[in-house]
C-alpha cells in the first residue's frame, strides 16, 4: 500500500521541497510528513477505509471532493470552508458543490492528526491523500495504488462565484472542457483520463434531464428509457456507471462508446477523432487507463498549490485559522 512506501524516501527530497519553498518555487514531495508526522498518511487511509466500508459511495465523493477543490483556487482545501470571515458565501455553498460528500471523513482524519501531530498536516494534503486512498479502495483488487506528493498549505480565500466559473458543467462541450482543463495546466489527455472518475458515484437526474425524453440526444434508447422511468420528473439520484457502479475501472470508456453515459460532457469525448481514439484506447487496453489515472491525479494535485507565504495550516478544516 502506498503509505508503506514512505520509508524509501530519502532526506534530500524533503530538503529540496523546503529549499524550493524558500526560493519561492513551491515543491511537493512524497514522504513530506515522514519526520514531522510519520503516521499522517496511515491515519488518513484508516479514516477513508472506515468510511468506504460503511458506504462505498463516500469513496466516489472523496475523489470528486479532490477534483472540486483543485479546480477552484487550486488544491488548497478552499472547498471545505464554511466561512472565511467574509459575508460572501464560500465555494461549499455554490450550486455545483451542494451535492459534495465526504466532509465528515476529512474532519475525522483532521481530528486524529491534530491529536497525533498538532498544527502539522494541512487540510489540503488530507483532501489529496483521501482522494488517492478512495481511488485505491474502489479499484478492482486495489490495483490503482500510487504515491501522492504533499506539502500543500491551506488557502484563506473561498468564493461561491469562483466555483461556478471554474468547475466544468455537465453540459460542457468538448472545446469548453479542453479550455477549462487547460486553464488549470491540464491537457486534453488529462481531461479524458480524469473524466473516467465518472465510473463511480451517483448523479442527480437534474444534471442530465436535457438528455432524456422529450429531449433528443445520442443516449442509448434503452438506457434513456430506463432513466426516464427512474427519474420520473423528480430529482432522484442514479449510478453514473450502470454496468459496474461500485468499482473504479475503465468501464466508463466502454459506456462512452456505447452512448451509455449520463452527461453531455461525457458524450462530448466522441466529438473529435483525437479524444475518441483516447476513449477507445482506455476502453480496450488493459491497465492503460489505470496507469494514466494515477499520473493525472498527481498532476491535478499540483494545481494552484499554496505556500506558507499565501496559506496556512488550519486547526479545523471548515474555518480559516484565527490568529
**What domains are there in the chain, each with its CATH number?**
7-167 (1.10.520.10), 174-297 (1.10.420.10)
Q: Burial-class residue 15 by CB neighbours within 10 Å (0-12, 13-18, 19+).
A: exposed
Indicate which residue of 68, 198, 215, 259 is catalytic: 68
Strand partners, 312: 154
Per-residue model confidence (pLDDT) at position 174: 98
- Calpha distance 137→248 (Å, rounded): 9
Per-residue model confidence (pLDDT) at position 141: 85
- Calpha distance 75→38 (Å, rounded): 22
Question: How far is the CA of 300 from the CAs of 69, 72, 232, in angstroms?
Answer: 10, 12, 37
Query: In a structure prediction context, what are the per-residue pLDDT tens digits for the chain, which is 323 residues long?
Result: 444 443 333 334 344 343 333 434 578 999 999 999 999 999 999 999 999 999 999 999 999 999 999 999 999 999 999 988 778 899 999 999 999 999 999 999 999 999 999 999 999 999 999 999 999 999 988 889 999 999 999 999 999 999 999 999 999 999 999 999 999 999 999 999 999 999 999 999 999 999 999 999 999 999 999 999 999 866 799 999 999 998 999 999 999 999 999 999 999 999 999 999 999 999 999 999 999 999 999 999 999 999 999 999 999 999 998 76
**pTM, to two decimals:** 0.90
> Is residue 259 annotated as a catalytic residue, yes or no?
no
Per-residue model confidence (pLDDT) at position 290: 96
Amino acid at each position: 500500500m502506498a503509505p508503506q512506501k514512505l520509508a524509501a524516501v530519502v532526506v534530500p527530497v524533503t530538503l529540496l521541497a523546503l529549499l524550493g519553498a524558500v526560493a519561492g518555487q513551491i515543491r511537493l514531495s512524497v514522504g513530506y510528513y515522514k519526520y514531522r508526522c510519520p503516521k499522517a498518511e496511515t491515519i488518513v487511509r484508516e479514516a477513508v477505509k472506515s468510511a468506504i466500508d460503511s458506504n462505498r459511495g463516500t469513496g466516489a465523493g472523496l475523489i470528486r471532493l479532490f477534483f472540486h477543490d483543485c479546480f477552484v483556487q487550486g488544491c488548497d482545501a478552499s472547498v471545505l470552508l464554511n466561512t472565511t470571515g467574509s459575508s460572501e458565501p464560500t465555494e461549499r455553498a455554490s450550486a455545483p458543490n451542494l451535492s459534495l460528500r465526504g466532509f465528515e471523513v476529512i474532519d475525522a482524519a483532521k481530528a486524529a492528526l491534530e491529536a497525533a501531530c498538532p498544527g502539522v498536516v494541512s487540510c489540503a494534503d488530507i483532501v489529496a491523500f483521501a482522494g488517492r486512498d478512495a481511488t485505491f479502495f474502489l479499484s478492482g483488487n486495489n490495483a490503482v495504488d500510487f504515491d501522492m506528493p504533499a506539502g500543500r498549505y491551506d488557502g484563506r480565500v473561498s468564493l461561491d462565484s469562483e466555483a461556478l466559473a471554474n468547475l466544468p458543467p455537465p453540459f460542457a462541450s468538448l472545446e469548453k472542457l479542453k479550455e477549462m482543463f487547460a486553464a488549470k495546466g491540464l491537457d486534453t489527455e488529462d481531461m479524458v483520463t480524469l473524466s473516467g472518475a465518472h465510473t463511480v458515484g451517483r448523479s442527480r437526474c437534474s444534471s442530465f434531464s436535457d438528455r432524456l425524453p422529450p429531449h433528443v440526444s445520442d443516449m442509448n434508447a434503452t438506457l434513456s428509457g430506463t432513466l426516464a422511468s427512474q427519474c420520473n420528473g423528480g430529482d432522484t439520484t442514479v449510478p453514473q456507471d450502470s454496468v459496474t457502479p461500485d468499482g473504479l475501472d475503465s468501464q466508463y470508456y466502454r459506456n462512452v462508446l456505447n452512448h451509455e453515459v449520463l452527461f453531455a460532457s461525457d458524450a462530448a469525448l466522441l466529438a473529435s477523432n483525437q479524444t475518441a481514439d483516447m476513449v477507445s484506447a482506455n476502453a480496450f487496453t488493459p491497465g492503460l487507463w489505470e496507469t494514466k489515472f494515477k499520473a493525472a491525479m498527481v498532476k491535478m494535485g499540483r494545481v494552484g498549490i499554496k505556500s506558507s507565504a499565501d496559506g496556512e495550516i488550519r486547526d479545523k478544516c471548515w474555518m480559516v485559522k484565527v490568529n
